[in-house]
Every structure is written in C-alpha cells, then in structure tokens.
Amino acid sequence: MTQGNEVAYPVVAGPEGILPPAATVMGVPLPEEGEGLVEGRIVSEQEALEDAAIALLTRKNATLFPGPLVLWGWNDHTNEKAKYFFDVANELPGIRIIPMPDYRPIYPKIDPEAVINPCHPNLTIWHNKIEACVFIGVHCHFANITLKMVRAGTNCYTIALCAEAGHEDAMCSVPNFDIEKLVRFRDAIIKVKKNGIKPLYEGKGIVPTGWAQISRLSGKTAEKPKDELLEAGVTGAFSHELETGLDDTAE
C-alpha cells in the first residue's frame, strides 16, 4: 500500500451516530508492515506512533485497555509483552489501566471502573469520561466490534496496537505490534514530550484503576496497587492471579 493523503472515509472521534459503517467497507485499507493508519489515512509507522502518543498525553482520562493476549499469562511471550506494556504506561502521566479480561457480556451490571467489555464498551468509556484509549492484546474480532461501537457513541480517540493486520475502525492503528514496536512506542512518547508536547496530567503516575477492583471481585482484598509494583513495571502483573475471573451471574 502506498502512502498518500487521500482518505476514502475519515475515521475520526465520534460520536458518529447510531450505526456507523465499517471503515473497510467504505474503502479504508489496512496498513502494511512499516506503516500505520491514522484517521483512515496510511502513514508511516513512526507518524502513527507519534500521533497516538500525542493523543494519550493530551486528551482527558487516557486509558490503556489490555486484552487477554497481554493480560493473561498464556506463555512466556505474553509475560514479556506485559513488562514492556508497563514501560509504555510509565511514560504516560495520569494514564489509567482498565483491563478487558474476557469477551462475554457482564450482566446484570458491569463495574465500569473495573473492566471494559466488548459487548458494551461505552459504559466504561462514558463512566470514566475517557477521551483517548489504547486497545492492545484484544483478539481482532472483538477489537473491531468494540471500535465501531466506541466511534458510534463516544468522543473517545481510539488507538489499536494490533499483533496482526491492524484495525481500520480505530482512529490510529499499527499492525504486527510486537515487543520491538512497544519499545518504539515508548520511545515515540518520550520523543514527543521532548519536542514540547506537555502532558495534561504532568507529574502524575499511573492512576490506580482496574485491577484493584477486579481483585476485590475475585474474592481478594482490594488494595491500592503497590507503588513499587507500578514503578518497576513488574512482569505479568496481571498474570496467573485471576483464574476465576468475574462472576457475571452475580446480582
């Protein structure tokens, strides 16, 4: 795919309406290796990473949504990826981390401060007033259905860092997102800050959300994440701890 400025269909932060079309049906292509996709336009990978960094640093209540492929300790690669995920988080002042631990809808009521779910993602985004977010480690099917709903009903700027081919329905997406690209993303965040982008929440660390509540729901005592854990970006902070998951039948 050649790079260019033509946009078949602009994929921008919504709310776009009740049922926006899938961007690929409107002619938005997927990026090739070395490229990124920003608002329906093919750009270089570096440009996409920097645009994503600026959105996360400057928009309100930016949040990382790690999905099962980062969240759970499937294998050594997952654990390693989780470590580099925290390296990225540590460069984003005031960032929140709210996991997408699995894909089944949570009824009768989701705890929007604890989790995001692909069946009703906007409940989490609306509740937390999230205006920029990253989906990482989410299986492509569930990422895509989520991205369309978020674009339909919220003003959230969506970033999909995809281990496979990327996502047309995200405002910003980079394909084949492996550990090397996580490192490059961290470096891009450092670069844009050095170049003068002032973080909206400068001086703040990771805002404790998500895992503390999940911990409580899984029968453990809720506690504030230890500062040293956050600072160290401990490998697999989520791994092997939540086997029972959420009880979505609980009233």
Q: Which residues bind other proteins (CB under 8 A)?
A: 18-19, 21-25, 30, 68, 72-74, 102-105, 107, 118-120, 122-123, 139-142, 144-146, 148-149, 152-153, 163-166, 168, 242-243, 245
Of 73 and 225, the one with the shorter C-beta distance to other proteins is 73
* Distance (Å, whole) CA 147 – CA 66: 14
Residue 27's identity, in one-letter code, is G
- The CB-of-192 to other proteins minimum distance in angstroms stands at 29
Neighbours of 15 (CB within 10 A): 14
CA–CA distance from 215 to each of 146, 218, 220, 223, 245 (Å)?
A: 24, 5, 5, 8, 9
- The CB-of-70 to other proteins minimum distance in angstroms stands at 13
CA–CA distance from 69 to each of 72, 130, 170, 208, 244 (Å)?
A: 6, 22, 18, 21, 17
Residue 142's identity, in one-letter code, is F
Of 91 and 102, the one with the shorter C-beta distance to other proteins is 102
- φ/ψ of 138, rounded to 5, equals -100, 135
- The CB-of-65 to other proteins minimum distance in angstroms stands at 15
- The CB-of-86 to other proteins minimum distance in angstroms stands at 21
- The CB-of-149 to other proteins minimum distance in angstroms stands at 5
Of 62 and 237, the one with the shorter C-beta distance to other proteins is 237
Of 227 and 247, the one with the shorter C-beta distance to other proteins is 247
Of 32 and 47, the one with the shorter C-beta distance to other proteins is 32
Question: With left for phi above 0 and alpha for psi between -120 and 50, is residue 129 left, alpha or beta?
Answer: left
